[in-house]
Structures are given as C-alpha cells and as structure tokens.
C-alpha cells in the first residue's frame, strides 16, 4: 500500500470523526445555551413580548389602518410594526448575544485550548452560529404566529420576498456581529460595542419611530444600514404594495459581502 493510499483513509476517518463530534458539540452547547436566562430571554422572548405588549396595551395599534390601501385598511395598526419586530429579532441576536458568546470563549481561553484537541475551535464557532440561527427562526416564527393568532394581523402579501429579505438580513447582521466579536477582547467589551451599534440601528429601523411616520431623511439613512434595510425590505414584502425591494436587497447583500470576509480575516483565536 502506498503512502497516499494510507493517508486517504486516515484523513477520511478524521473528517468523519469531526463531523460526529460536531453533532455532539451542538447538542451539548445547545443545552448550555438554554440554561442562560439572559440569552434565552433576549433571543426568544423579548421580540414577541414587545410586540404583544404594544399590540394589547396601545389602543392606536388595535384600531384598523383606515388610511391604508385595501385589504390592509381593515388590519390592526400593529400590522405595520410586525416587520420591524422581526428585524429587531435579527438585530438582538446578532449584536447582543452572539458577539458576547464568541468573545467570552476567547477571554476564557476556550478557543486556544480547543486548538490543541482533535476538535478544531472553528467547530465551536460554527455550532453557536447554528444555535443562533435556530434561535432566530424560533423567535421570528413565534412573533409572527402570535401576531396573527392573538392580534389579528393578516398574513404577508408576498411571503417569498419576506423570506428572502429575512435570509439576507440574517447574513448581513450575523456578519456584523462576527466582526464585533472578532476584535473584542472580552465579553463585556463585545457587549458594549454591540450595544453601541444596536441602539442607533433600532432608531433607523423603525423601532422608536414607526416607518409609516418616519421622516424621509431617516428612511434614507436607514436604507443604507443593515438593520434599517432589513426593516424596510420586510415591510415591503409583508404589504406587497411597493414592488420588489431591490435597493434593500442590494444593500443587505453588499453588507454581507464586505463584513463576513472581514470578520473571518480579523477574528482572533487567542
């Protein structure tokens, strides 16, 4: 048997071992993640709680949108806020929970220690990317179902556009979160930097001032920000009366193509 013939099965065996190890690591880290009340609250509960709180407590959000075009003129006012809440869910996970996790792994030396084991540290990052994506799917899904069942919000006019924008929003915002985690030395610094980006992003995405009454200059700025473009694109897809949100799609794609390679290149493992 030649050296190449001996090497190929060995490499394949290590690859299969790492694949099996990834599944075990995912199950273990998911259990640990679910034991963190702060991460679970902000990732899974906060968006839906905010949506239901506004929809049930503020009378204006319960009244029909009489100025909207049919059939939306019979929908409750909270309908215009739902796409913003979905964008909020993306921003909350990508800027307030995920970067803190990654920076904490570096701060505690976990990534460095993993580099000396058969399990590469990249797997731990990949596992938590998967966990955060799953958390986002659950968070957005619960918010949408709650809005439809509890608040009487009509279903999206163009769900394909909504899903497309949601996917691009996730790639863009997670790339931004990865870049924050790439340079933050500690979990606390990642949290501070994430919040520094998070709150201004909320302002231009319609959380503080709804998109329906937002001044044009704020909308123009929000269009070029990943979270603002996300909220605008989701709103266009949900109502379906503004055509395909091409500008928002291009902005989100551009942010992803710039931020993700930058986050990978600048990521410090020690």
Domain ranges of the chain: 14-266
With contact defined as beta carbons under 8 Å apart, do 51 and 78 qualify? yes
pLDDT given for residue 183 in this prediction:
85
Instruction: List Cβ neighbours of 260 (8 Å cut-off, separation of 6 or more).
Output: 171, 175, 178
How far is residue 268's CA from residue 207's CA, in Å, rounded to a whole number? 33
Rg of the chain over Cα atoms, rounded to whole angstroms, equals 21
- Confidence check: pLDDT of 258 > 90: yes
State pLDDT tens for residues 125-162: 999 999 999 999 999 999 999 999 999 999 999 999 99
Q: Which of 205, 23, 4 is nearest to 130 (CA)?
A: 23
- Confidence check: pLDDT of 3 > 50: no
Distances 30 to 22, 75, 187 between C-alpha atoms, Å: 12, 38, 19
Higher pLDDT among residues 183 and 228, named by residue: 228
What are the b/e assignments for 213-248, b being 16+ CB within 10 Å? Answer: ebeeebbeebbebbbbbbbbbbbbbbbeeeeebeeb
With contact defined as beta carbons under 8 Å apart, do 80 and 67 qualify? no
Q: How many CB atoms lie within 10 A of CB 167?
A: 12
State pLDDT tens for residues 22-76: 888 899 999 999 999 988 999 999 999 999 999 999 998 899 988 888 878 889 9
How far is residue 181's CA from residue 190's CA, in Å, rounded to a whole number? 6
């Amino acid at each position: 048997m030649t050296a190449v013939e001996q090497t190929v099965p060995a490499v394949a065996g290590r690859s299969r071992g790492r694949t099996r190890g990834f599944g075990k690591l995912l199950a273990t880290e998911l259990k640990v993640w679910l034991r963190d009340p702060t991460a679970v609250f902000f990732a899974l509960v906060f968006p839906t709680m905010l949506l239901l709180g506004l929809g049930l407590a503020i009378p204006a959000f319960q009244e029909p949108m009489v100025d909207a075009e049919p059939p939306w003129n019979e929908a409750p006012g909270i309908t215009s806020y739902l796409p913003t809440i979905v964008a909020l869910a993306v921003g909350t996970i990508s800027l307030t929970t995920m970067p803190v996790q990654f920076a904490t792994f570096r701060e505690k030396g976990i990534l460095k220690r993993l580099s000396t084991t058969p399990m590469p540290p990249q797997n731990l990052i990949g596992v938590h990317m998967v966990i955060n994506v799953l958390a986002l799917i659950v968070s957005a899904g619960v918010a949408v179902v709650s809005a439809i069942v509890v608040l009487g919000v009509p279903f999206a006019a163009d769900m394909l556009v909504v899903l497309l924008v949601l996917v691009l929003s996730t790639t863009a915002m997670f790339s931004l979160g990865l870049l924050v985690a790439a340079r933050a030395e500690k979990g606390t610094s990642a949290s501070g930097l994430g919040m520094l980006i998070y709150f201004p992003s909320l302002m231009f995405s319609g959380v503080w001032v709804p998109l329906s009454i937002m001044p044009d200059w704020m909308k123009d700025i929000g269009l070029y920000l990943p979270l603002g473009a996300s909220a605008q694109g989701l709103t266009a897809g949900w109502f379906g009366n503004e055509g395909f949100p091409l500008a928002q799609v291009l902005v989100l794609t551009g942010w992803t193509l710039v931020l993700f390679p930058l986050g990978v290149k600048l990521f410090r493992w020690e």
